[in-house]
Amino acid sequence: MHARRFLPVVVAASAALALGLTLPGSATAATAASGSAVITESSTFFQQAAAQGVFAAPLPSATGAYSSANGLTSTFPVTGGTGNVDQITADLQLGGGLLIVDVKTGRAAAFTNLDFNTFLGQFTGVPVGGSTPVALLDPAGDLSVGGDGTAQTLTSSELDVDPAGAAYLNAHLQTGFFAGQSVGSFAVSYTPAS
């Protein structure tokens, strides 16, 4: 029953991924922008979410991994970008998608056209079937950037659910779980197009 309700969402997400993720910004560069954004769900959050029936998973071309020590790690490839992470001026386009399901309510939400903007300090995604980005996650806690102008990094010790994202997910999944949640940590590596 639940799987049947999730299936259209997953199919739609996959279709969107197959059709729509050619993004501007690197088409004319000799070397395309590269790197990744990695969301690490802490074991604490993973267990609390699971207890509430909430699960999140990356969709291709993003990848996921799990260990009991580190929790769930989702890695999203950088597909384009402008600005510089180490100058806090970057706007990065990310491949893959993000699927969030609530098995208690039998509902799911999937996001594509993922983006991380350092000026806004937000990880955003466009709901499948929609067109308006939703701010999903905000890096917080101990924040650091580094790099030499080419290979650049950003890390945050915390990754909080954005209030707008919490409102969207709570409404869409018919839950009250997401408000005020801290997911885990966040890391970005980025090499601009050249």
Partner 1 sequence: MRKTTVAKLVSAAALTASVVSLAAGPALADPPSGTTPAATDIVGVGSDTVQALFNQLSTDYTGTPKLYSWDATGTSPITTKTGATSITRPNGSGAGITALGSTTSSTVDFARSSRGPQTGDPTTDDFIAYAKDAVSWAAKSGGDAPANLTKADLQGIYACTITKWNQITDISGFTGSANTIQPFLPQSGSGTRSFFLSSTGITTIGSCVNQTVEENEGSNTLLQTNDSVVPYSVGHYIGQVYFSHGSGTDVQGPLTVRNLDGIVPIDTTNKTISSAYAVSAYSRNLYNVVRAGDWNAGDSHATALKAIFSSTGWICKNATAQADLKSYGFLPLALCGVISHT
Residues near partner 1 (CB under 8 A): 83, 86-89, 91, 117-122, 132-133, 138-146, 154
Nearer to partner 1, 108 or 134 (CB): 134
C-alpha–C-alpha distance, residues 192 and 90, integer Å: 9
In this structure, are residues 155 and 184 in contact, taking their beta carbons and an 8 Å threshold? no
Alpha carbons 37 and 45: distance in angstroms, whole number: 19
Q: β-strands 54-59, 97-102: how paired?
A: antiparallel
Closest CB 106 distance from partner 1, rounded Å: 31
Q: How far is the CB of 155 from partner 1 (least distance, A)?
A: 10
CB of 186 to partner 1, least distance (A): 11
Residue with Cβ nearer partner 1 (31 or 87): 87
Dihedral angle, C-alpha 152, 36, 183, 167, nearest 10 °: 100
Q: Which of 118, 87, 109 is nearest to 174 (CA)?
A: 109
Nearest CB to partner 1, comparing residues 142 and 171: 142
In the bound complex, what is the minimum distance in angstroms from residue 64's beta carbon to partner 1?
Answer: 26
Tokens of 175: 């839950």
Alpha-carbon span 44 to 171, nearest angstrom: 24
Distance CA 158, CA 138 (A): 8
Q: Which is nearer to partner 1, 25 or 58 (CB)?
A: 25
When the beta carbons of 64 and 121 are compared against partner 1, the nearer one is 121
| Nearest-approach distance from CB 88 to partner 1, in angstroms | 6
